[in-house]
Each structure stands twice: as structure tokens, then as C-alpha cells.
Amino acid sequence: MKMKFLLFLLLGYASCAPGTDTGLQIQIDAGEYDRHNSIVSFQVPDTLEHEAYQLMDSQDNVIPVQIEGRYATFVLPGLNAGESLSLRLVPSKIQNEKGVSIQFLQDAVGFKLDENRPVLQYRSGAGGLELEDIDEVHYRGGYIHPVISPDGHVITQHYNPDRPHQYAIWSGWSRTEFEGRNPGFWTAATGTGSVEVNSIDNLRSGPVYGGIRTRHHFIDKTTDENTTILSDNWNVRVYNVPEKNNFPVHIFDLDVSQRNISESPFTINEWVYGGIGFRGNDSWLGEENARLLTSEGKTRVDGEPIREVWSDIGAHQSRARWAYLSGVVDGENPGIVILVHPENFRFPEPIFMNLREPFFMFSPAVLGDIHIEPGESLRLRYRYVVMDDEPAPEFLESLWQDYAYPVGVTFN
């Protein structure tokens, strides 16, 4: 109630006085955790009139801010637990686009920091790739590859000849039911289902982040009339965060909303994998070449599986808030931690890890069937932090806390 009253006063003031020119006062509260280069988003009044804004502290130090629609995003340099900081949102005459830039490639969109440091690519198709050993039935778009570490190491893989259906970071379900049929959205080789890119829009660059929105269609091909069941909507953001606690990092968010746009219920059947997958660099192949650590302190080889299915090949399953994977690439040990949003379905999420291959995913279907009624959506959100040095578990936990419990923002 207090927040609504303050916002009402703020909107009234902004609509009848030149308040937006002198600056809107906001207060940042760290909460229970120390903050360092934290990503902060907050809603702004719809009365803002200028094209560009910036944040300024009490010493007139400038903090870049990026506004998209009704939401502003910035990177908070530092704030100790329990402390507060006052900032002013003021118009800026300089539109500084340095930070995260977008590069258009053949069947791909690349993201770079400072125009020269690649972070990742979103692939919309197989154009420009040399895939002579891969059957064209596996060609598709709608995934992220490569993902690149701060030192320039590629940590993902797509179109491995033995697993051509694993596309670095991608979405897919293995076992499903729809109108009495069982379309498959895991490997196109079955011919019963496909995942196809429908649209790419809202591409943006900026000082704080670069982003893209895409839509993929999950198409049932078990009958003569192909039926689109799911609209798989992705929002990808790459942030201009050079380091966290003196660790050089690349950070990006993936927000997935899978909406049932058909006229019938859709069921994802209980199975050991399915969801948003991750395929690591081929140099991580083999039981000794990839490492896993979860928020619960589990590794690839310990812990009891939630289900006994596939336990004969050493699949490790447990539930976690985050999972860190790493391996040797070009003599170094880059890795990635996948942070799970606490509002995800069946959080903390079950995981699947193949002991012999660098294939990992959070898989909510491990715990039972998932039903999506017409017009309803399944939303899954993850933050990926890529680094080159082996981190302490406490550092990984702090990354998750920063993601799960963002700083508080109020207007003064």
C-alpha cells in the first residue's frame, strides 16, 4: 500500500511539473546480501519524455541505465548487505550504445561486449555451417551456440555426429501426448515432430544489455495435417557485466515461455530428461573430462538418483538451485554455472547429467507428467554465468542469491 501511494504521488508530480528534467529520486536497498556488479531492473513511470537517461549518485558519478518499455535496467557497482543508496534518474544528452552490440551473421545473431569480445550467438538455422557428416533431417535453428568464455574459449557444442539432436542450449521434450498421439520433440529423426523458428524480433543493443526475442513452434507431424502445439517464446539478454567479485564473467539470461496455442491439452510425460538442455564442448567427452557441482554439494558420481531409470549408465539425478559444469578446453578450465529462478516449475529443479558425455539439463518432467492446457504456459527462467577460473562454491551460491533475491528499488 505504501509503495502504491508513493508511486501515485510520483506520477502526479511528474505529470504537472518538470520533475523528469531535474531527476527522479530512487532508493536502492541491498537486502540481506552483499552486492557487486548486480543486475537491477525496476519499473519507471510512463511519463518519461526523453530518449536517453542515466543514473547519478550523490557525488554525480554516472551509472548507465537502459530503458525498454516501462522497465529500466542498470548494473549496481557495489552495496553491502543492509545498506541503502540514493540515485537520481536524469535525462542524458548522450546516447551511449557501447556495452553490448549485435552482429548479424548467416542464420545467426551474435552478441559482443565492447564491440570486440564475443559472448554468444543465437542460431536461427544451419546456413553457413559445414555439416557434411550430419543428415539434413537434424538441421534446425532456435538455439544458442557458441557460448564463449571471457578468455575466448568455446564451451558449447552442436551437431556432434553421435548426438546431432543436442544443440548447445536448446529446448526439447522427449515424450509427449497430444490428442491421443505421441509427437516427439527431442530428435527430428523420428519424423513425428519438429521445432521450427517462427519469428525473430525486438533486437536491441545498449550500454547495459543486448537482447533478442524469438518464437519457435513445436509442430506435431504424426498426421497428414501438421498441428502447431506450442509457441516456444525466448527472451535472451546478454549483460555488460565485466566481472563479479574480481572474477571476469560473461552473463546472460534465458527466459522461456512455452504456450499451448492449440485447442487441445498437451502433456509432457514423466521422463529422465527434457526441458532446456546444455551440451558442452566435445573436449569434455569422457568420464574424466567434465566436472559437475550442484548447489547441494553433489558431483557427477555421488548421490542417489530420484528415479532408477537409466541408472545403469551412471546418470546422476538430484534437485538443485544451481549447477556448475566445467572441463578442459585448450589447456584451461572454463566453466558455466546455470542458475535456476526460484519461481520455476518444481523448483529446486531435478537435473540430468550423462556421465560419459557433457550433456546436462534441468528436467522438471523427472518428477511426473506436466499438463499444459490450451492458452496456458510453462515458464522457465535461467541465468548463465561463464568464467575461466575454478570458482569456490560460496561464490556460485552468491551468484544465485543475487539472481533469486534482487535488490529492492523504491521511489523517494
pLDDT at residue 317, as a whole number: 67
Of the two residues 203 and 242, the one the predictor is more confident about is: 203
- Closest listed residue to residue 252, CA positions, set 240, 269, 265, 270: 240
We find that the CATH architecture of domain 100-403 is Distorted Sandwich (2.70)
pLDDT at residue 51, as a whole number: 82
pLDDT at residue 11, as a whole number: 37
pLDDT per position as a tens digit, 271-308: 989 999 999 999 998 777 888 889 988 887 664 444 44
Residue 119 has pLDDT above 60, yes or no: yes
- Band (316; pLDDT cuts 50, 70, 90): low
End-to-end CA distance of the chain: 15
- Closest listed residue to residue 81, CA positions, set 398, 318, 357, 351: 398
Q: How far is CA 289 from CA 60, 98, 167, 385, in A?
A: 49, 37, 20, 20
Residue 168 has pLDDT above 70, yes or no: yes
**Surface-to-core class of residue 278, CB atoms within 10 Å of its CB (0-12 exposed, 13-18 middle, 19+ buried):** buried
Residue 167 has pLDDT above 70, yes or no: yes
Average pLDDT over residues 3-9: 36
> Residue 25 is placed in which grid cell?
529520486
Which residues are 193's β-sheet partners? 220
Residue 223 has pLDDT above 80, yes or no: yes
Residue 376 has pLDDT above 70, yes or no: yes
Percent of the chain with pLDDT over 70: 90
Average pLDDT over residues 393-397: 96
Q: For residue 284, give every residue at least 6 positions away whose Cβ sits within 8 Å of its Cβ, in sequence order, or none.
A: 290, 325, 327, 328, 329, 358
What residue type is assigned to position 206 of the chain? G
pLDDT at residue 9, as a whole number: 35
Which residues are 111's β-sheet partners? 102, 120
CA angle 315, 155, 188 (to 5 degrees): 60
By three-state DSSP, how is residue 365 classified? helix
Average pLDDT over residues 330-356: 92
We find that the CATH architecture of domain 2-95 is Sandwich (2.60)
pLDDT at residue 242, as a whole number: 86
Per-domain residue ranges of the chain: 2-95, 100-403
The full length of the chain comes to 412
Residue 115 has pLDDT above 90, yes or no: no
pLDDT per position as a tens digit, 9-68: 333 333 333 344 457 899 999 999 999 999 999 999 888 888 889 999 999 999 999 999
pLDDT at residue 95, as a whole number: 63
Q: Quote the CA–CA distance of 325 and 334 in Å, as a whole number.
A: 9
pLDDT per position as a tens digit, 356-374: 789 999 999 989 999 999 9
Q: Are the beta carbons of 210 and 119 closer than 8 angstroms?
A: no
* Residue 183 phi, psi (nearest 5): -65, 145
DSSP states along 76-123: EEEE-TT-EEEEEEEE-S-----SEEEEEETTEEEEEETTTEEEEEEE
pLDDT at residue 10, as a whole number: 37
pLDDT per position as a tens digit, 138-150: 999 999 999 999 9
pLDDT at residue 3, as a whole number: 38
Dihedral, CA of residue 355, residue 356, residue 358 and residue 359, to nearest 10: -70
pLDDT at residue 298, as a whole number: 83
pLDDT at residue 8, as a whole number: 35
pLDDT per position as a tens digit, 227-278: 999 999 999 999 999 899 889 999 999 999 999 999 999 999 999 899 999 9
pLDDT at residue 12, as a whole number: 37
Residue 346 has pLDDT above 50, yes or no: yes
Its pTM surpasses 0.85:
yes
pLDDT at residue 187, as a whole number: 92
> Residue 124 is placed in which grid cell?
536461427
SS3 per-residue string spanning 126-143: CCCCCCCCCCHHHCCCCE
Which residues are 74's β-sheet partners? 40, 65
DSSP states along 293-325: EETTS--SS-S--SS-TTGGGT-B--EESEEEE
Q: Quote the CA–CA distance of 364 and 23 in Å, as a whole number.
A: 45
What residue type is assigned to position 36 of the chain? H
